[in-house]
Each structure stands twice: as C-alpha cells, then as structure tokens.
Structure 1
C-alpha cells in the first residue's frame, strides 16, 4: 500500500508535495491510501501558481479552483454578510438555484453544512451550531477540545455538534458527491481552532487544490465567528489519485519551490 504524510505551510506547497508523493517511479498507478496532508495556513497560496494550474485545468474542461473552493465555503457571499445567520439565510435562498447547475444536482458541501435536511421538513444549520458551541466552550477554563463534529446529525438532538456532509440514508452512489465525508473541529485551549477533514476519495488535479482553499477558509470563518484564531488544516484521504494530464502537471511540480513568504 502506497501512502504519505506531508506537512507544509501553505496550500500551494502542500498540493505540490502531495502530488510529488504520488508521482513516483515505484507508484505507477499514482494512487495512495490513507494519505495525510497537513497545512499550517490553508488560507494562503501563491496566486501565480494557481493561475498556471487553472490554465491547465480549464484546458481540460474543469472549473477554476476558486469555483471548487466556493462549494465548501462561499467566501465572496460571506464578505457581504454581517452575521452567520445572514450568510446561512442568504445561501439557503440561493441553494435551489445553485443545485440546477451541472454537477450540483445533489447539493453542495456548504449547502449540506447550513441547510441539512432534518426530520419533518426541518433544516439544520450545522455550522451555526458549531459556532455557538465553540463560543460557549471557549470562554470556559476547562473547555471541551474535541466536541465539534458528528457523523449523523439528528434534528431531535438538543445539541448538534458537527459538520455532516455525508447523508447515510441516501448518499449511496459508488462515485461522485459527496467525496468529503465529514469535518471535525478541534478547540485548542490557547484560542486556536484546528480542522480535520476526511475524504473517501480525493482527485488531486480535479479537486484537491480548491478543496484545500475552501476548507481553509471555512476553518478561518468558523474560528473568527467564535472569537478564535484559525489553526492547522489536516486533510485525510482514504484513497488519493493524481489524475489529469500528468505531462502537463509535472512541470508545475518540478519547477516550483515553496512560494509563500512571511
């Protein structure tokens, strides 16, 4: 079984390191199992590198990385909202229209996080519940550090503590949405919020770069809403694959150095 763990300071460096770990002579399938990518600041990346990557992606019919990132966290919309309640409300109003776009018919990740279908037609804003609980806990001397995620959010629960993006009752397709199974937030008692995300499958060329950005922005958003500082993003993939045009990807991997400077 081929696997790897990489730790890098930013999205660009992390994506390059992960792709290099898959693109090895002893790994002709360019796949890995139980891979771990740890990013110190997943809100930072090199815009010039992203533009180069997007030129290759667009040539293969993929959406820009910014579009991928927005399915996890709609940063532009959030910037126009004064509160989380406003963001969730506005996103829910846009959600049905968004689902009519190709590839979104089964929903978006952020839609699952703020508009999860509950019992008897109720809608669950899971991110709002996470923010509320973090806000309450972070002010306590003995704050809970790992009580901010769940596999199944039930509408009758008095407290929903996580960010479910996989619905076990109807997400039964062998491929496709949702590849992101869940997000887990950890409260460091020094006022920092970390995030761990688990993917059942991760396509490095098609999705990973944008996913890293979206998850980093989501972590930053949740942290700031709760009066915390964003920390480390860890992305675990049950199965990772370096897909796409490898001859066009390799120059990006071999020609780039760590691109983010302090």
Structure 2
C-alpha cells in the first residue's frame, strides 16, 4: 500500500518521518512519498548528528559511507566553484561568463574524474552525477543532460515563462533506445538483464509559479545508509539548477517504490534506537 509522508519543512525532518513510518510498517513499504517543502532550509543538527554517529560505525554486511559522500554522488558540491551569481535575463556579459564558467568547470572536472571513480567496484556502471553530465556516465564527453536542461530553462526564463513540465533527467538505462536528451531512458525489449544499479532511476523537473520543483524516483531506497545523503544531494542539485536558470527553488519529492529501513543490517532494535536518538534531538 502506498504511503504519503506528511510534508516537512526541511530534509532532516522529512528523512526522520520517513524512517519512522517505514519502521512502524515492519521495516519495508512500497511507494513511499517523501516531500520537503523547502529543500534549502537548514538541516536539523541533532537529527544529522544522530545519523552520523550510526554511520561512523563500520558494518560487516553493508558498505557504509558518510552522508556527504552519498550526497556527492548526486551533486559534487566540493568541486563546484560557486560564484554566488544567479542567472537573470539580460544580465551583463561579464557576470554571465563567470556563471557559465563555473558550470563548465564543474562538468569538465567531473568528466576528468570519471575514469578514476569508475575503478571503484561500486561505480563500475557509472555514477549518478556522471550520468547527468556525461551519459552514460563512465567517461567524460558524453551527453550533458544538465547543460541541456539549463539551456531550456534559461530560454523559458527569458521569455517570462512561469510554468511548464517538459524537463527530466534520466539516470537508469544501459541498453536503452532513444536519445538521452529526449527524456526517460527505456530498456531495449531484447534486454533480459536484471539491474541493481541505479537505485535512482529518474528525476523530473516541473516549473510552476516561477519555482522549479523536483520529483525523484528510487526503485530501492535504503533509509539508514543512503536516504539522508540522497535528499541532501538532490537538494543541492535543485539549488544549482535554480541558480543557473534564474528560477526559485520549489519543493522536493521522492518516491521510493521500495523503502527499506534496513532492519537486516542494523536490526529492528538498532533502527528504533536511531529513531529515538534523532527524535530526541529534533
């Protein structure tokens, strides 16, 4: 049965409400909708600290990464030289050049990193951000979906368009058909392989009342080891898109087609302790 989590003001509370709900459902749930009203609102430090403490302990059965590492797979903020400049139609050439250069440098730097990143077994099929900026995400020089979407949104902003739903970012697909810049990737009918990666399969961007909102679909959302970092990375990606296009940031919605509280990795009691610690610090 699908579940709609009460929308939260920031990503920390949205994550905690989702974990609480799925844990109460027995540890698993299907089609769980999590919504953040303001993805750029400050995190709740206590909730983040409670999760960081759990993730700092190595586990034998699961590969554990810090929240920032997970977030960086979706948007590598550490290599983005943020100019603090926001796109405005008719802006002066010098400011526009600086804004464009910051994005171009990000794409180029990440493209140069991809061959190294994909030597890690976890990245052998590419990375999330790599698939966004250099489809299919194993080397640089591929189709840059982000640059294309930014170009489309800037055109709309210049024409004073305040609402549209024509943009998306494909993540899934190996033996796909169609052009990756045309939208959602689909598997070829002859492709009988099963895929564990990527868990994030699609990102949809909707412009409404001059705000860009984002909807992301995960086929398997690991709520302890991945979900918080995923929400943080998606929020940063949305902020980047808004800055580069001149629109405001709208809401962030994530649909986990299968949400997993990871009782098998952390035990039911362990997840309950995490929830108690996070809720007590909220």
TM-score normalised by L of structure 2: 0.78
Paired with 2:152 and 2:169, the residues of 1 have a C-alpha distance of: 13
Aligned to 1:147, what secondary structure does the other structure show?
Answer: strand
Aligned to 1:56, what secondary structure does the other structure show?
Answer: helix
**Which deviations, in whole Å up to 9, do the C-alpha atoms of 1:228-259 show, x marking residues without a partner?**
22111000011111104132332332344497
| 1:36 aligns to 2:46 (yes or no) | no
Partner of 1:135: 154
Is the 1:56–1:248 Cα contact (8 Å) retained in structure 2? Answer: no
| 1:226 aligns to 2:240 (yes or no) | no
Partner of 2:9: 9
Deviating 4+ runs (over 6 angstroms): none
Q: Where does the alignment leave 5 or more consecutive residues of structure 2 unmatched?
A: 84-100, 171-175
Partner of 1:176: 196
Within a 5 Å distance, the mapping from 1:1-262 to structure 2 comes to 1=1, 3-24=3-24, 27-28=25-26, 30-43=27-40, 44-61=42-59, 62-79=64-81, 82-117=101-136, 123-149=142-168, 154-155=178-179, 160=181, 168=187, 174=194, 176-189=196-209, 191-243=210-262, 244-245=265-266, 246-257=268-279
Paired with 2:258 and 2:7, the residues of 1 have a C-alpha distance of: 18
Paired with 2:39 and 2:29, the residues of 1 have a C-alpha distance of: 22
Is the 1:150–1:161 Cα contact (8 Å) retained in structure 2? Answer: no
Count of residue pairs brought into register by the alignment: 249
Change (3 A) 1:173 1:77: farther
Change (3 A) 1:123 1:147: same
Paired with 1:223 and 1:179, the residues of 2 have a C-alpha distance of: 25
Is the 1:54–1:64 Cα contact (8 Å) retained in structure 2? Answer: yes
TM-score normalised by L of structure 1: 0.84
